[in-house]
Amino acid sequence: MGPSVLFPLLHRLSSLSPLRTVTPTWGRCRLPPPSCSHTPCTHSFPGLNSQHIRGICVESTLSHIKELSPPEQRLLNKLYEGLISGQRASLAESITLVETQHPRKKELAQVLLQRVLAYRKEQEKQNGGKPLAFRVGLSGPPGAGKSTFIEVVGKMLTGQGHKVSVLAVDPSSCTTGGSLMGDKTRMTELSRDMSAFIRPSPTSGTLGGVTRTTNEAIVLCEGGGYNIVLVETVGVGQSEFAVADMVDMFVLLIPPAGGDELQGIKRGIIEKADLVVVTKADGDLLVPARRIQAEYTSALKLLRKKSKSWNPKVVRVSSQTGEGVPELWGKMAAFRSATLSSGDFQDRRRAQHKVWMWSLIQENVLRHFQEHPAVRGELPQLEDRVTRGAISPGLAADLLLKAFTSSSSSSSSQ
């Protein structure tokens, strides 16, 4: 979505209902209701019976567009009010909205997201500028027991008063968009817990889909009051790198009896890990789990540190017996505390915002390139010549880029 579309949409934010205050939590600690540090602004907007709305300040330089229709206003008001008051149905519907490919609904989703971001920013100000939620990415090869692990950890955290959301980056069909995983059926106890929310986040066959839908779903979950967001990925591949760039802590889960583990896991994934968890450390697998723990502890010492305030750790847990799970959460809480104190936590968040922006730019630029008339006119012929071996893929790419830039230059000069 280009600035000419997005900026005017942001201008319409103030035409929606005012922000409500919902007390966020970190564990059992409650923060006082927020008070906006901005100078309160009062504006009159058509479409709401010329009511004077007190709310978030929107830059006056943003241009005006055709206002939202009354049904659209009612929809966004309903979703926003339900979301920040903790209604799970509103959260689910809001995530569905950001996952849509419908152009107008994508615009509405951005309006909703901007309101939620503004709400969260005000809440964070009351927390000394520190993020209220803790985002944890969980990855590992098939058979590592990720879903069982998440259910055990999730139940422990909700029992301590946390609100936990689980977003499963779900491989989906490029053709139909259909998903394959069934996390709710594999986390039966956690899915019935009213302090937990489980949602598959489809990739739609692209890493850009992972970044957009998952990152925006994280924002909505935090707006809904979920202070711990667990992002589960399937297997060890490129999507794990995308998820590692949108969480505060990246956890790699390793089974104890998977063969040559250090050979089978990509070095880049290990370098991304802030914590390595050896799962299924019980019974006959306890001895192999100890061996794998020692191997990974040695391997991590050889890697360059990502953070000055944290050294990656290797722990053993058993989802079956629960052994090691409280200690694991202790390590995760220690990571959060150390990185918050050093500022690494906030620095990572800021860097991730930039990564997110550029990934979306790349996605939209590629789509714009593919849909350009000059490219669409040349593409079938060049694809055919490439598949027949008549020209190299590099030459075909150069010809398409030349057609795109020449057409764009002639259009701008007119």
Q: Residue 203: pLDDT above 90? A: no
Q: Return the pLDDT at 145.
A: 86
Q: Residue 156: pLDDT above 50? A: yes
Q: Residue 79: pLDDT above 60? A: yes
Q: What's the whole-number mean pLDDT along residues 303-329?
A: 89
Residue-averaged pLDDT of the chain: 77
How far is Cα 367 from Cα 373, in angstroms, rounded to an integer?
Answer: 12
Q: What's the whole-number mean pLDDT along residues 164-171?
A: 81
Q: What's the whole-number mean pLDDT along residues 351-366?
A: 86
Q: Please, which residues bridge with residue 313 across strands?
A: 275
Q: Return the pLDDT at 213.
A: 82
Q: Residue 150: pLDDT above 70? A: yes
Residue ranges per domain, the chain?
A: 58-126, 131-341, 372-411
- In percent, how much of the chain has pLDDT > 90? 40
**Predicted confidence band at 400 (pLDDT cuts at 50, 70, 90)?**
very high
CATH classification (class only), 58-126: mainly alpha
Most confidently predicted of 40-44, 170-174, 243-247, 377-381: 377-381
**Residues 182, 232 contacting (CB under 8 angstroms):** no
Architecture of domain 131-341: 3-Layer(aba) Sandwich (3.40)
Q: Residue 3: pLDDT above 60? A: no
Q: Return the pLDDT at 243.
A: 81
Q: Please, which residues bridge with residue 302 across strands?
A: none
- C-alpha closest to that of 304 among 273, 279, 265, 325: 273
How far is Cα 130 from Cα 381, in angstroms, rounded to an integer?
Answer: 54
Q: Residue 177: pLDDT above 60? A: no
DSSP assignment of 132-197: S-EEEEEEB-TTS-HHHHHHHHHHHHHHTT--EEEEEEE-B-TTT--B---HHHH-HHHHH-TTEE
How far is Cα 323 from Cα 338, in angstroms, rounded to an integer?
Answer: 25
In sequence order, which ranges of 12-84 are alpha helices (DSSP H)?
70-84
DSSP assignment of 78-112: HHHHHHHTT-HHHHHHHHHHHH---HHHHHHHHHH
Backbone angles phi, psi at 18, to 5 degrees: -65, 160
Q: Could you report the per-residue pLDDT of 275-289, keeping only the tens digit for each?
A: 999 999 888 889 989
**Predicted confidence band at 369 (pLDDT cuts at 50, 70, 90)?**
very high
Q: Residue 41: pLDDT above 70? A: no
